[in-house]
């Protein structure tokens, strides 16, 4: 079996975390999708799956592809970690279900209806002001600023330390990857604010009317201590910020590059949902997620040994031509159902409804105020080990 495994696996020499790959991720994704089955990255002693069917199957198979050893490259069961593991993302049943139930009890339909009005008001004011300028940076001044305003307010976090929370979140995602220069820079940037972040997620520092207070109340009712509640608040913040910012930025860029599709959205604002969904498929802001095998796992003649790190290549899977016709084409009229940008199974993103709501309100407000949006300069990629996004997106808009 070992000989068969060695010959059947595909070795990928491209470093997914190198700067040139982060600036041009399609090269890595295409190489991964060219393989028939299981991939191996010798530089990191890392296995990977890119085919849509294999990624989806591994997501659903939590017993063999565990999250409890960490969803990044580090096996958190064997190595020291810089923060407490996520009680939802880096946890398996039975404990996983206990904490997920807490979050589900907070993120109800009634909650989403209430925060929808708050999101819509903020997005409308921000979009109106930017479109009136004529030219603006849609990444810095809109896709990043909008969640930065509404998510901390939604959670009830103290306003004076929201920037520290964003620095913490940046470190969180860089730490999922290798110990490289990006992680070193994030560590140095975050070192002065780590105690601040922990302190300002405590119940006494949160407003009484935010979701953070409701998380604490739900934990207390379930007999879960306040330290765990604080971890849930920090996890929810990180999950609601960076990936959503990047997803909104990518959606605006694709719509600006396809004026006929922007015109469709303006004629029918309900299409913002389809536009964001297609954007998540087309350019997944969270392109990887890690799992650890709990036993030897055989996939199409290749044996992945027990205790191996396996990278599920979400970004590649969402462009798999075996699953999506003409996958490199952005088309909001496409049926994007089945993309794996939010994961699959018991570990699927618990906050995806909030992320979708953020994006829909941002895109809808922009569509109401801007008759046209077109690129106004070269975009710049964000440098982060575990995320894909734009640090700058110059846009020229004409007012509606």
Cβ–Cβ contacts within 10 Å for residue 244, how many?
27
The burial of 143, by beta-carbon neighbours within 10 Å (0-12 exposed, 13-18 middle, 19 or more buried), is given as: buried
Cβ–Cβ contacts within 10 Å for residue 7, how many?
9
Q: What tokens were used for 383?
A: 């440098």
Q: What tokens were used for 105?
A: 């009890």
**Residue 24 and residue 72: Cα distance in Å, rounded?**
21
- pLDDT for res 5: 52
Chain segment 266-304, per-residue pLDDT in tens: 999 999 999 999 999 999 999 999 999 999 999 999 999
Q: Is the pLDDT of residue 4 over 90?
A: no
Chain segment 194-234, per-residue pLDDT in tens: 888 888 889 999 999 999 999 999 999 999 999 999 999 98
CB 48 within 8 A of CB 32: yes
- pLDDT for res 379: 96
Which of these, 265, 199, 253, 281, lies nearest to 393 by C-alpha position? 253
Q: Is the pLDDT of residue 3 over 50?
A: no
CB 318 within 8 A of CB 280: yes
Which of these, 44, 20, 18, 15, lies nearest to 32 by C-alpha position? 15
pTM (two decimals): 0.94
Handedness of CA 180, 184, 189, 194 (dihedral sign): positive
CB 264 within 8 A of CB 284: no
* Mean pLDDT calculated for residue range 8-13: 89
CATH number for the domain formed by residue range(s) 2-399? 1.10.630.10
Cα→Cα distances 394→24, 137, 141, 380, Å: 19, 4, 10, 9
**For residue 47, what are the β-bridge partners?**
40, 310
- pLDDT for res 346: 94
Of the pLDDT bands very low, low, confident and very high (cuts 50, 70, 90), residue 163 is confident
Of the pLDDT bands very low, low, confident and very high (cuts 50, 70, 90), residue 370 is very high
- pLDDT for res 7: 58
CB 288 within 8 A of CB 274: no
* Mean pLDDT calculated for residue range 151-163: 86
* Mean pLDDT calculated for residue range 349-372: 95
* Mean pLDDT calculated for residue range 352-363: 95
Chain segment 48-74, per-residue pLDDT in tens: 999 999 999 999 999 999 999 999 999
Give percent above pLDDT 90 in the chain: 85
Q: Is the pLDDT of residue 158 over 90?
A: no
**Residue 177 and residue 384: Cα distance in Å, rounded?**
9
Q: What tokens were used for 107?
A: 């993120």
Q: Is the pLDDT of residue 6 over 70?
A: no
Query: What are φ and ψ of residue 69, in 5° steps?
Result: -95, 15
- pLDDT for res 159: 80
**DSSP character string of 60-88:** H-TTTEESTT-SSSS-TTTS--SSPPPTT
Cβ–Cβ contacts within 10 Å for residue 20, how many?
11
Characterize the bridge pairing of strands 46-49 and 309-313.
parallel
Which residues, at least 6 apart from 45, have a Cβ–Cβ distance to it below 8 Å?
Answer: 309
The angle that helices 162-174 and 145-155 make with each other, rounded to 10 degrees, is: 110
Q: Is the pLDDT of residue 244 over 90?
A: yes
**For residue 399, what are the β-bridge partners?**
370
The single-letter DSSP state of residue 139 is I
- pLDDT for res 2: 39
**Residue 378 and residue 365: Cα distance in Å, rounded?**
24
**DSSP character string of 211-276:** HHHHHHHHHHHTT--HHHHHHHHHHHHHHHHHHHHHHHHHHHHHHHH-HHHHHHHHH-GGGHHHHH
- pLDDT for res 1: 34
């Amino acid at each position: 079996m070992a000989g068969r495994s060695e010959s059947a696996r595909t070795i990928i020499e491209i470093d997914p975390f190198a700067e040139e790959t982060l600036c041009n991720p399609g090269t890595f994704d295409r190489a991964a999708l060219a393989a028939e089955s299981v991939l191996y990255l010798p530089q990191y002693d890392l296995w990977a799956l890119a085919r849509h069917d294999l990624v989806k199957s591994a997501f659903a198979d939590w017993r063999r592809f565990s999250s409890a050893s960490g969803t990044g490259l580090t096996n958190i069961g064997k190595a020291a970690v810089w923060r407490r593991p996520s009680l939802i993302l880096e946890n398996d049943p039975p404990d996983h279900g206990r904490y997920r139930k807490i979050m589900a009890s907070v993120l109800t339909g009634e909650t989403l209806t209430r925060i929808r009005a708050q999101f819509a008001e903020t997005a409308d004011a921000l979009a109106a002001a930017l479109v009136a300028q004529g030219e603006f940076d849609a990444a810095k001044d809109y896709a990043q600023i909008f969640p930065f305003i509404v998510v901390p307010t939604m959670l009830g976090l103290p306003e004076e330390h929201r920037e520290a929370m964003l620095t913490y979140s940046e470190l969180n995602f860089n730490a999922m990857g290798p110990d490289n220069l990006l992680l070193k820079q994030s560590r140095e940037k975050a070192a002065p604010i780590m105690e601040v972040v922990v302190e300002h997620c405590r119940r006494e520092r949160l407003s009484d009317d935010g979701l953070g207070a409701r998380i604490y109340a739900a934990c207390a009712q379930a007999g879960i201590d306040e330290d765990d509640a604080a971890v849930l608040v920090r996890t929810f913040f990180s999950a609601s910020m960076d990936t959503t910012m990047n997803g909104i930025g990518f959606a605006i860029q694709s719509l600006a590059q396809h004026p006929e599709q922007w015109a469709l959205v303006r004629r029918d604002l309900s299409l913002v949902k389809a536009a964001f969904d297609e954007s998540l498929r087309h350019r997944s802001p969270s392109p990887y997620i890690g799992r650890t095998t709990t036993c030897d796992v055989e996939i199409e003649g290749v044996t992945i040994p027990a205790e191996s790190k396996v990278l599920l290549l979400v970004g590649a899977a969402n462009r798999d031509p075996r699953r999506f016709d003409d996958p490199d084409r952005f088309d909001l009229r496409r049926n994007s159902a089945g993309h794996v940008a939010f994961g699959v199974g018991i570990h699927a993103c618990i906050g995806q409804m909030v992320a979708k709501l953020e994006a829909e309100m941002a895109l809808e407000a922009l569509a109401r105020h801007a008759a046209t949006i077109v690129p106004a300069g070269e975009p710049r990629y964000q440098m982060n080990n575990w995320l894909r996004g734009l640090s700058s997106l110059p846009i020229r808009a004409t007012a509606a």
